[in-house]
Amino acid sequence: MKEYSMNVRQVCFWCAAMLPAIKLITLPSSFAYYAKDDLILSAFFNAVISLGVLCLVLLTAKRSDKTFLELVRDKFGKIFTRIFAGIYALFFFMLSVLFVLEQKGFTETTFFDIPSTAFGFAPFFLLSFYLCLRDFRSVGRSADVVLPLFAIGLGLLLSVSVGSGDYLRILPFGGNDFSETWKGTVKALAWFADPLWILFFVGRFRYEEKCARKILISYAAGVTVFLLFLWLFYAVFADIAIRQIYAISRIGQFSEAIQLIGRVDFFAVCMIAAATLLQAILPIQLATKCLAYAVRLPVWASALIVNISLFGLIFLAGNSFSFVQKFICGDMLWSILLFAFALPACSPLLTIGKQR
């Protein structure tokens, strides 16, 4: 009998905590930049696209209990699968650059009063290396622990900031130029590559009755939390929203309670940061696993290669997050559309003729 390394609940938790958490850092200001007061609409389009692809990914999970790479191997053979895994390793690596640079900027702004040295962010790679050595069982169990942390953190952050907003600023709804709103959607696709993460969880959890429904509801709940946060974000910052790149570290500071008792919201930010870090490390873990599969390396060697390369690239890139964002979400958009949306959407084709 197949031993599964995750369970449905852990996938649900991942959808409800880690996936929305990573979107809370720079994405709100990016949406505000393109879609202005229609930022919720812009994000909603993203959510609909991701939900649609996620449904197809879950169809794959329903039909087969094999992992994505095993399905590809069954269909196209070992050699092709190794090349395919190598390409995916590169894609995950590219996404990692984006997410890690985002984390670096967030970290330097939030956790350091004075600009930190390059050394300040280096321990991230030690953690990332350690996590890369672990299997999917650990990924699932970390979701069990981090979901309550994220929930408490976000709850605390929302409770201190909810009184500082003007919630009607978002009106009139739909008044913005639609092409700009859509542009916001397109530019945010990298952060909504969620079906891809779930695709790589497929075959590692037992598909049970109502499993798809549970995962979809969890994902919808996570997205709803994000949409509500966007509303709060725009209500608090309004016209200066586009300049609030790292919104979660700033959104609570206008609260009167904060003025009196100090930045308790900082602890909430730390809790949310735990969830964002785990999600930022997930593509690095997947890149490690795909590379190990592609070139038949031991996992530690693959993890070492990926993390050292990433470390070098991040420090060469310095603070050029916006440049990297433009490159990945603009010039390399085709790769996101292909690897994060089109291929996962086609994944049920791999299971044609297969029955559980």
Given the rule CB under 8 A, which residues bind another protein? 7, 9-10, 107, 111-114, 116, 120-121, 123-124, 126-127, 130-131, 134, 137-138, 140-142, 144-146, 260-263, 266, 270, 273-274, 277-278
Q: How far is the CB of 281 from another protein (least distance, A)?
A: 9
Give phi and psi for 205, each to the nearest 5: -130, 150
127 vs 240, beta carbon nearer another protein? 127
40 vs 286, beta carbon nearer another protein? 286
Structure tokens at 33: 């930049």
135 vs 177, beta carbon nearer another protein? 135
83 vs 145, beta carbon nearer another protein? 145
Q: What is the distance between the alpha carbons of residues 6 and 54, in angstroms, rounded to a whole number?
A: 18
Q: How far is the CB of 205 from another protein (least distance, A)?
A: 12
Q: How far is the CB of 137 from another protein (least distance, A)?
A: 7
16 vs 32, beta carbon nearer another protein? 16
Q: How far is the CB of 113 from another protein (least distance, A)?
A: 6
110 vs 335, beta carbon nearer another protein? 110
Q: Do 28 and 241 form a contact (C-beta atoms < 8 A)?
A: yes
Compute the Cα dihedral for 209, 211, 216, 219 and give only its sign.
Answer: positive
Q: How far is the CB of 127 from another protein (least distance, A)?
A: 5
Compute the Cα dihedral for 171, 48, 152, 196 and give only its sign.
Answer: negative
Q: How far is the CB of 45 from another protein (least distance, A)?
A: 33
Q: How far is the CB of 135 from another protein (least distance, A)?
A: 8
Angle (deg, nearest 10), helices 123-132 and 265-295: 50
130 vs 300, beta carbon nearer another protein? 130
Q: How far is the CB of 9 from another protein (least distance, A)?
A: 6
Compute the Cα dihedral for 295, 297, 302, 304 and give only its sign.
Answer: negative
Structure tokens at 104: 């670096």
138 vs 335, beta carbon nearer another protein? 138
Q: What is the distance between the alpha carbons of residues 274 and 149, in angstroms, rounded to a whole number?
A: 8
Q: How far is the CB of 12 from another protein (least distance, A)?
A: 11
112 vs 323, beta carbon nearer another protein? 112
